[in-house]
Homo-oligomer: A and B are copies of this chain.
């Protein structure tokens, strides 16, 4: 990848993973086709942890979730996160010459991905074209569409065949 108009010897390729088959295919594809070119390349796994639910208010009219419900939701989110990272690790096992970094941040996937790509100095962002759930996509628009317009580096969208 290039820095300041010059092709660089080392690529830092950020891959956004969310547990969807699409994102895991994108990770595998970029490892085989982009990252495997040089042992100096680094893959930066990005995972956006969903933001915490709204906490109970002392004012009962503002009650939303009990402590117990929040603990259950947090446990569920933690399990999802572990499952995503496990899936990614399985794919990475076949490419043990490639350097791996992980970045997990809490918040809306669109903001987390664009901010982190910038912070880690990625030369390229790779994403699946879908993921992050049908309902959320319908409400907020596709995460990949957002990142294409807002990430500061080139964005590669890989679809499942």
Near B by CB (< 8 A), chain A positions 3-38 give 6-7, 29, 32-33, 36-37
Most-contacted residue by chain B among A32, A144, A149, A157 (CB, 10 A): A157
- Asked, given contacts A36-B7, A129-B149, A144-B148, whether A155 binds B156 with beta carbons under 8 Å apart, the answer is yes
Chain A interface size, under 10 / 10 to 19 / 20 to 34 / 35 or more: 20 to 34
A156 to B159, CA, bound (A): 12
A33 to B4, CA, bound (A): 12
How many copies of this chain sit in the oligomeric assembly?
A: 2
Q: How distant is A17 from chain B, measured CB to nearest CB, in Å?
A: 16
7 A-B pairs (CB sep. < 8 Å): A7-B33, A37-B37, A145-B145, A148-B157, A152-B159, A155-B157, A156-B157
Instruction: Check A84 for interface membership: any CB of B closer than 8 A.
Output: no
With a cutoff of 8 Å between Cβ atoms, the chain B residues found around residue A155 in the complex are 156-157
With a cutoff of 8 Å between Cβ atoms, the chain B residues found around residue A37 in the complex are 37
Instruction: Check A85 for interface membership: any CB of B closer than 8 A.
Output: no
- Asked, given contacts A129-B149, A148-B144, A148-B148, whether A32 binds B154 with beta carbons under 8 Å apart, the answer is no
A24 to B13, CA, bound (A): 23
A78-113 vs B: 1/0 string, CB under 8 Å?
A: 000000000000000000000000000000000000
- Asked, given contacts A7-B33, A29-B2, whether A154 binds B157 with beta carbons under 8 Å apart, the answer is yes
